[in-house]
Amino acid sequence: MATFLWFIVIFSVVVISHEFGHFLVAKSAGIGVKEFYVGFGPTLFHFKKGGTEFKWNLLPLGGACIFEGMDEFEVPGEAGTAADTAANTAPAGTAPESAGKTSPRGKSFLDASVWARFATVIAGPVFNMILGFIIAFVMVNMIAVRDPVATQILPGSAAESAGLKDGDRIISMNGERIRLYDDIVLYTVLHEGEEIFLVYERDGELGNTALTPLYSEEYGRYMLGISNSDFIELKGLDFFRYTWYEMRYNLKMTWGSLGMLVRGKIGREDVAGPVGVAVNVVGETYEQTKAYGWQTVLVNMLNIALMLTVNLGILNLLPVPALDGGRLLFVLIEMVRGKPVPREKEAMIHFIGTMLLLVLVVFIFFNDLRNIFWK
């Protein structure tokens, strides 16, 4: 039960932040909003305010912000999750009969200026990033941040062979600046088995060396052989700086994981949808941390929420038809051309994209079940 409640809270907060971004900017631009809902399936409760109907549905796996001027098959403000994409089978192009008219709620989305539409669509991912920054700030104030310092060099490791010593601070790896100890781990995961040109600081002086991480059967990944127990005492503006470092880490992790997926470095068992997140991520994290008290559970759940909101923001910006990024692409084309792409062509492209996303949703759903019950 506790796992289910945590899952509902995390997914709901992430989805609401995304949709609220669409909603707030649309209303500011005078665009009418017909519906704002969270979840799919039977409606648990709803109310109407300012001409907009707000709904809370049974399954909190996505949501939508439906703008004025879109026909009943069209939802331009998708929440961005796989389940949300499945529900919003909405080509975003064909102008309905109501186009050119203004309802009491506001003007049609299609009649709004190109900049208003651009701002409305991009607001969802932007609000996901804002939520991420807030979560990261809370986390930094609750946890001890680890410095990228080698408090111990493990015997027989790549780090030992390269001449690193206890107390060395890692400055950069192949030119990429290292701010957190977790950055070191992430780099070795995303660049598995690659040679690393490493810059370090020892006794106030910079040094450099080259090494290739060794594969660990115990941990199932490539490792430098550095352990860390050096925590930073943050003061004043340090909290904001390290909040950005946490955000930067999650951005790199999301983008790097997408790259590994495209290159075939991530297998089927590593891909998870809402069901997999609920059971394997939220559920397992809760069971492993509940013995350490509510604060430990909260920090770990915040970390999951941070990961999900950053993922949702970045995935929605991909130039894929039917996602925010796909819609933004058409708006940008309109800005360059000085006129919109013919609505029927845009609608067809988004429709095809939606159908492909539906296939992906079904695959991810059954993949989650397979990973849960037959792994």
Sorted by where each starts, the structural domains of the chain and their CATH numbers stand as 2-139+310-373 (no CATH), 148-229 (2.30.42.10)
If phi > 0 it is left, if psi is from -120 to 50 it is alpha, else beta; for residue 30 that is left
What's residue 301's pLDDT?
Answer: 92
Q: pLDDT band for position 53 (50/70/90)?
A: very high
What's residue 55's pLDDT?
Answer: 93
**Residues 267-282: pLDDT tens digits?**
656 666 565 566 667 8
For residue 247, is pLDDT > 90?
yes
Q: pLDDT band for position 111 (50/70/90)?
A: confident
For residue 362, is pLDDT > 60?
yes
For residue 306, is pLDDT > 90?
yes
Question: Do residues 34 and 55 make contact, with C-beta atoms less than 8 angstroms apart?
Answer: no
**Residues 202-215: pLDDT tens digits?**
999 999 999 999 99
What's residue 82's pLDDT?
Answer: 36
Mark 22-56 as b/e (b = at least 16 C-beta within 10 Å): bbebbbebebbbbbbbbbbeeeeeeeeeeebebbb
Dihedral of CA 102/106/109/114: which sign?
Answer: positive
In percent, how much of the chain has pLDDT > 70? Answer: 82
- Whole-number Å distance between alpha carbons of 156 and 47: 64
- Number of residues that make up the chain: 375
The mean pLDDT value for 125-153 works out to 92
Listed residue (91, 55, 96, 61) closest to 76, CA to CA? 91
What's residue 361's pLDDT?
Answer: 72
pTM higher than 0.85: no
Listed residue (250, 358, 268, 262) closest to 312, CA to CA? 250
What's residue 86's pLDDT?
Answer: 33
The mean pLDDT value for 183-198 works out to 91
What's residue 93's pLDDT?
Answer: 35
Report the chain's mean pLDDT, rounded to a whole number. 83
The mean pLDDT value for 187-209 works out to 93
Listed residue (72, 71, 68) closest to 52, CA to CA? 68
**Residues 81-101: pLDDT tens digits?**
333 333 333 333 333 344 445
Lowest model confidence (mean pLDDT) among 11-15, 233-237, 360-364: 360-364
- Whole-number Å distance between alpha carbons of 66 and 90: 10
